[in-house]
A and B are shown apart, each in its own frame.
Chain A
Amino acid sequence: MDESVKNGIEVLTGEDCTRFQGKRDFISLTDDIDTAMDYAEMKPSEKVGKGSFPVMLGISLEDAKKLETINIHSDRREIGVLGNIPPEYISFISVPENKVEFVRKLVNNDKIKVCPFEPEKRFYQKTPFGDIDFDDKKAKKVLHEQNSKGKIFSIDEIKALTLGRVKSKIQESIRKMQNLIKDNFKRKDAYER
């Protein structure tokens, strides 16, 4: 794709911009672990936005066949997936180490394993059926052994932010949260003290 643009070849992929320089209108689908890991290691550009992080989804070949795909002009071994991927097709999600816990909770699905990228240790592997899978035990071990990398807001920063708020505004937030999830978010003693 990038090479095509560089060489003046018209690109008919429906992408807004070249790879990672802007947003793509599709999800890259590949059965090549090196291609997947190369994407995982790319740092999103300023244009895509700080705060973005790469996500790698593991899907079985059987499920991949059910997805709506498009051919794309690319110098990689990949095709495009249009729209969203149904959660029931996803076997694992790989994200930067410091995002694992967040994504795990966000996904909130025991059937989907969430693991950290670990390009050097490469615990991803091809199964005899041609799928890409990963060594779950090894991934968890690595996660516990290593410290988080990248930007993380400290607990002191969060507390400082919290201390600076105003009670009446917090009460508005409590109402929002109560509307969001009625049973789970009890009206705590935040403003009753």
Chain B
Amino acid sequence: MKDNDLFKEVLTFLAYFDSAIIEKIPSQLLSKMRDLAADSRAEFYIDEDKDLRNQKMTEACKDIISLLYYTYVADENEKKEISKSWNENEKEYQKFLKNKYDFDKIVQDKKE
């Protein structure tokens, strides 16, 4: 996914965030995203009947939104909680990858 499409997607969703959250994100950052997004021809939509996690959203967009939340919105305690969660999720993710790309297991599975 191109960065200009990604930032257009991020901005589409940020438009539906509470003003109190938007206030905390630096204007300069949003302006840069806006400049990049201006070149995007991609279209992104919000489904108003669904919550944020169930929106049709790319994984990269979810990551950027999460990073913005962590960096500019979360307080110190929340940051610790989020960081811990990211580390735990990473372990699970590495296990998943190992399982998926484990050569021996692939061969074993094919034999079965």
Interface residues of A (CB under 8 A from B): 49-51, 53, 98-102, 105-106, 108, 148, 151-155, 157-170, 172-174, 176-177, 179-181, 184-185, 188-191, 193
Contact = CB atoms under 8 A, between A and B. Distances in A.
A164 B65 contact: no
Contacts of A159: 69, 74, 78, 82
Interface footprint category on B: 35 or more
Contacts, number: 158
A181 B19 contact: no
Query: Can you list the 8 inter-chain pairs with the closest CB atoms, starting with the nearest?
Result: A101-B19, A51-B46, A167-B90, A162-B66, A157-B52, A173-B63, A167-B86, A108-B27
Given A49-B43, A108-B28, A166 B89 contact: yes
Q: Which of A163, A165, A169, A172 has the most B CB atoms < 10 Å from its CB?
A: A165
A51 B44 contact: yes
Contacts of A164: 53, 62, 85, 89
Nearest to B15: A102
A58 to B, nearest CB: 20
A155 B27 contact: no
Contact of B18 (A49, A155, A169, A177): A155
A152 B22 CA distance: 12
B32 A102 contact: no
Given A167-B90, A173-B60, A190 B67 contact: yes
B22 A51 contact: no
Interface in B59-85: 59-60, 62-67, 69-71, 73-74, 78-83, 85
Interface string B4-44: 00110001111111111111011111111110100000011
Contact of A158 (B21, B31, B46): B21
Contact of B15 (A51, A174, A188): A51
